[in-house]
Structure 1
């Protein structure tokens, strides 16, 4: 940074809070919409967690990973939506630097974990379809737990370091973030320092957490596609593909939006569009996940039916007594 830039930044006081511009044009309407969506996300994903836990028929690797994904989605959404709703009710759109850092950390932590968890789920489908005789041996309960724990363990220290690098920067001039949560590109834009090291760290992290898992998913599905095409029966091909369709839908939505936001050059037009895209992977996908995995899955729908049937039966018995 040259001397003229230094003098320019010295004319501004240091920022100690940010203003999240977000969406606040119609506060009452948005609050009702976000509240309904948040409750639907908690209910839908919570039911998947409960059903896959209680129904012994769903104690398989695929549903073990789905259960963890649903739990992760509830946590992921809880990082942004409660703050958005509180701002809409109070009219206070400010967020302190420590709160902003905390929010960004958990967004990155849960987001990075989901990237690897989706890759693990693709690998699970690869084993089930391409190596069916060895599937149960390879994908033991211990291996499943290690995979999920590793997904969380990899993300935690990396995101902690990233937050340390970002919030060690001085922030001055404008404190307005044109977003509904503290996201890396928008926060870095407000820093008054040389950002080369930070941009390199962000780029490296994006490659590690977005590109690498995505390539692993693509490799898994290339092998899956080959195995499906070699099947002699059209019915068998359709049935096998149906076990992957839900996961493919979620991967397409999640990685498509994430790559546009974090890997594409941040032009002025894309910056405005990224706020809309962020709604997709922070709210829309967690909302749609239960629908995607239940509407296309007979086993989960049957488990829901059994759970509701038991509950109805218990209520009837209690009423008769």
Structure 2
């Protein structure tokens, strides 16, 4: 991305500076959610290593998701808080490039990882007797690696397209983070062709995992419908409920944010959607997975010395 001399090699993240009276409340809100994100996801990672009953494919992928959420929020929140607390709201060009490239890579990785987790739930419900054979550790590692690889490749492709755009001295970013589509808006050239290419890239990175998720859960629903006992249906659905909640929150937000015309939203609404996607969702993920998860709760009790089994 070409940055003219008039831009000074930096961007100014405006954030919520148009409502300075809310910045302190907003910073406290973000700080609390970030702390919960770190503690919740770190707890899941540590417990999954300490308790042998959590050394299963499901918790292997959940551990990847937790690590992913920690990295994702950390790529955004510290810089955001520095801008809110300080008078200098600048971020260097390189810092901005790194932030939107890493955030895009991690967000894309989560898209694919949630699809892999849906496949894992499909095998667990539809092929329970062959689950451990099919979801072999080698296959699990390959699927996780493929998710990370595809996410970073998508980021590399989209970020490289944006790097060649001249910004012509524009440096004010009406957002609380360096977000690729917002940076592209600062360009002083016609970006319609590039917008189309990036939309196709976003569509692919969303359509493939969504198709996998819908297909997996259609098969799961078909199998669950054949279970005659209500208790059996509840048990089968219970193994998928947490993942469904996380998928609904994540995909509902990003599809609203990235697949609809920006004219449908004000910039304030875009910021709120981005806030849900980048701050709130990573905080809720560990809570969703732990509140009703007997294995996690049992592992917590074991670590605390309250479980004698």
Asked if these proteins are the same fold (TM beyond 0.5), I'd say: yes
| Residues in 2 aligned to 1:270 and 1:298: alpha-carbon distance in whole angstroms | 42
| Equivalence for 2:123 | 127
Which stretch of the first structure deviates more once superposed, 99-108 or 164-173?
A: 164-173
| Equivalence for 1:30 | 26
Taking a change above 3 Å as real, the CA distance of residues 14 and 173 of structure 1, as seen in their structure-2 partners, is: closer
| Equivalence for 2:14 | 21
Deviation at residue 164 of structure 1 after TM alignment: 1.7
| Residues in 2 aligned to 1:123 and 1:274: alpha-carbon distance in whole angstroms | 31
Matched, 1:226 2:209: no
Q: Deviations over 1:131-167 (max 9, x none)?
A: 2222211100000001101111112233123212102
| Residues in 1 aligned to 2:74 and 2:54: alpha-carbon distance in whole angstroms | 26
Deviation at residue 201 of structure 1 after TM alignment: 2.5
Q: Is the 8 A contact 1:15 1:171 kept in 2?
A: no
Deviation at residue 281 of structure 1 after TM alignment: 1.3
Which stretch of the first structure deviates more once superposed, 110-119 or 168-177?
A: 168-177
Q: Deviations over 1:229-274 (max 9, x none)?
A: 1001100001110110100000001000100111001106344311
Equivalent pairs, count:
302
| Equivalence for 1:39 | 35
Deviation at residue 16 of structure 1 after TM alignment: 2.6
| Residues in 2 aligned to 1:100 and 1:210: alpha-carbon distance in whole angstroms | 24
Secondary structure at the counterpart of residue 267 of structure 1? helix
Matched, 1:144 2:137: no
| Residues in 1 aligned to 2:231 and 2:154: alpha-carbon distance in whole angstroms | 45
| Residues in 2 aligned to 1:217 and 1:258: alpha-carbon distance in whole angstroms | 16
Deviation at residue 29 of structure 1 after TM alignment: 3.0
The correspondence of residues 187-202 of structure 1 with structure 2, limited to 5 A, is 187-202=183-198
| Equivalence for 1:98 | 94
Aligned alpha-carbon RMSD (Å): 1.9
| Equivalence for 2:199 | 203
| Equivalence for 1:6 | none
| Residues in 2 aligned to 1:297 and 1:252: alpha-carbon distance in whole angstroms | 18
| Residues in 2 aligned to 1:13 and 1:58: alpha-carbon distance in whole angstroms | 55
The correspondence of residues 1-321 of structure 1 with structure 2, limited to 5 A, is 13-14=6-7, 16-24=9-17, 25=20, 26-172=22-168, 174-267=170-263, 269-309=265-305
Q: Deviations over 1:160-212 (max 9, x none)?
A: 23212102110025422111111122111111112134212211211121121
Q: Is the 8 A contact 1:49 1:71 kept in 2?
A: yes
Q: Deviations over 1:79-113 (max 9, x none)?
A: 11000111122121111221111000011110000
| Residues in 2 aligned to 1:122 and 1:187: alpha-carbon distance in whole angstroms | 33
| Equivalence for 1:318 | none
Taking a change above 3 Å as real, the CA distance of residues 151 and 97 of structure 1, as seen in their structure-2 partners, is: same
Greater Rg by CA = 1
Taking a change above 3 Å as real, the CA distance of residues 173 and 261 of structure 1, as seen in their structure-2 partners, is: same
Q: Is the 8 A contact 1:103 1:182 kept in 2?
A: yes
Give the TM-score, by structure 1 length.
0.89
The unaligned stretches of length 5 or more in structure 1 are 1-9, 314-321
The unaligned stretches of length 5 or more in structure 2 are none
| Residues in 2 aligned to 1:91 and 1:31: alpha-carbon distance in whole angstroms | 14
